[in-house]
Every structure is written in structure tokens, then in C-alpha cells.
Amino acid sequence: MDRRPADTPARIDLNSDLGEGLGPWRLGDDERLLDVVTSANVACGFHAGDPATMHRTVRAAVERGVTLGAHVAYRDLVGFGRRRMDVPSEELRADVVYQLGALQAVAAAEGGRVAYVKPHGALYNTAAVDPRVAADVAAAVAAVDPSLVLLGLPGSVALDAAADAGLPVATEAFADRGYTPEGRLVPRGEPGAVLHDPEEVAHRMLRLATDGVVEAVDGTVVRVRADSVCVHGDTPGAVRMAVRVRAVLTSAGVDLRPFVDA
């Protein structure tokens, strides 16, 4: 619950998935996005992100004062971490610990610190609804550092499991995604799932930041609790959209800052 006084300016974090290149292959424009966002979800090597890319991304984020988060995933380079996988609990926990450790080492080498964890792709979606996977992710994060914040969907099983494991949690919304009347994301492939108009998206996020609501695909207004807004950067026009979201929020006096202190 937001306990700020009524006259306190609206506050929100902007996060983006970054460092998702591999070797000579680059995805998105990380440099431009790091001038927009306040938190960076850095790929840790299992869906993307080789060591040199991780160093480059973390270094650029630290230079800009952007908070670092570990974007942990299933071990799925071929499927970019978007394929649901049936990974045994012991292996999944070890995979999460391994990725966290890798990014923590890179962050330390570049003068930064990992402050939160956001699962990627299929792991994010599965942990949101599967108690066993959610508990495995939470247990792995807590074993490494119980002060790390788990970022996820409001009302998800993932955040419940994280809280049960003693982890602090934060909620996020997605700038370019449509919402159902129940406050859930419209499944990709269905009408209204992905939004493309930068102006529409920016003003939707302004309403979210100031009033805590978004318009659902059926025109109804739904309440969405979000500490952070994810702005994607890996689709055509996405960087321009992210820039517009930030511009509209700042011009309206919204306080843009990380949801967790680095």
C-alpha cells in the first residue's frame, strides 16, 4: 500500500531488460535505454549475455547511476529463455544461484552492486503461477542474499513465495502491454496484447503512476499496483516509446527513481 502523504509527488521506477546480446550479436540499444531507465535487468548468461556483454552493460549502468538487477532465466540460449522447461528443483535453484553469483562478481568488478532479481521470460511467467518454481527461485535468491528484492507481477505466486522466504518484494507493470479487466496481462497473440503508439503508452503510464489505474482492453478501468514500469527495448520503435514515457512522466512532475536503493 502506498503510504505517502496526499501531497507527495507520484513516484515510479522505470526498468528494462538489458545486456541481452551474445558475442558479436547485440539486441536493442542499451546505451540509449540506460539514459531513460532507473533500473536495469541485466541478462546473466543463461538466455543471453556473455561475460564481456555483462561487463559492458554493468559498467554503463554504474556510470549513469542506474540500479542493477539480475535477470535470471532458464538455461535456454536457443529459445532466448522463452520456452517453459521442466527443471528439477535442485537444478533450478543451482542455476539461479549461479547466475546471481556471476552478475554479483561483474558488478563488484565495475564498482556496482546487484540490488534486486527479476526472472526472465518463461521463468518469470511460470514462477508467477507455479508454487514449486516460485519457491525454488525464492529459496535460491534468499540463500545468496536475503536483502535482494524480487520484482514481479502484483498478486503473483512468485511474490507470495518470495515474501514467505523473507525476501522484500516489488511489483511491476508493463508499459507496452494490454491488461484484462481482471488486471492481468493480455496473452501475446490476442488482440490488444501489445501496444505500439508511444503517445498512448506514455499517457497510460502517467495515469498508472498518478492514479494507480490503467484502461483494460474492454474499456473498463482496472487498478494495478506497480512500484516499477518495464519499458522494453528489443522491438522496433521501443526506444522511442521509452523516451516518450520518461518525457511525459517527468513533465508531469512524477519522481523517477529506483524502487530499491542500490
Tell me, what's the pLDDT at 165? Answer: 98
Q: Are 167 and 142 in contact (CB under 8 A)?
A: yes
Lowest mean pLDDT among 30-44, 47-61, 104-118, 231-245: 231-245
Q: pLDDT per residue over 140-198, tens digit each?
A: 999 999 999 999 999 999 999 999 999 999 999 999 999 999 988 898 889 999 999 99
Tell me, what's the pLDDT at 9? Answer: 63
Lowest mean pLDDT among 110-114, 150-154, 186-190, 240-244: 186-190
Q: pLDDT per residue over 56-107, tens digit each?
A: 999 999 999 999 999 999 999 999 999 999 999 999 999 999 999 999 999 9
Domain borders along the chain are: 11-256
- Residue 46 pLDDT exceeds 80: yes
CATH superfamily of 11-256: Glycoside hydrolase/deacetylase (3.20.20.370)
Q: What is the mean pLDDT of residues 36-65?
A: 97
d(CA 255, CA 236): 27
Give DSSP secondary structure letters for 71-102: E---S-TTTTT-S-----HHHHHHHHHHHHHH
- Residue 21 pLDDT exceeds 50: yes
- Mean of the per-residue pLDDT values of the chain: 93
Residue type, 143: A
Pairing of strands 221-223, 213-215: antiparallel
- Residue 7 pLDDT exceeds 60: no
Q: Report residue 24's pLDDT band, with 50, 70 and 90 as the boundaries.
A: confident
Higher pLDDT, 231 or 2: 231
For the chain, how long is the longest CA-to-CA vector? 50
Higher pLDDT, 216 or 26: 216
DSSP H helical segments within the chain, as ranges? Answer: 30-34, 51-64, 89-109, 121-127, 131-144, 157-164, 198-211, 238-251
Structure pTM? Answer: 0.93
Residues 6+ apart with CB under 8 A from 208: 12, 173, 214, 224, 226, 229
- Residue 117 pLDDT exceeds 50: yes
Lowest mean pLDDT among 123-137, 166-180, 182-196, 239-253: 182-196
Q: What is the mean pLDDT of residues 244-251?
A: 97
- Residue 1 pLDDT exceeds 70: no
Tell me, what's the pLDDT at 113? Answer: 98
- Residue 17 pLDDT exceeds 60: yes
Residue type, 79: G
d(CA 120, CA 140): 15
Lowest mean pLDDT among 64-78, 119-133, 231-245: 231-245
- Take residue 46 and report the three cell numbers written for it: 543463461
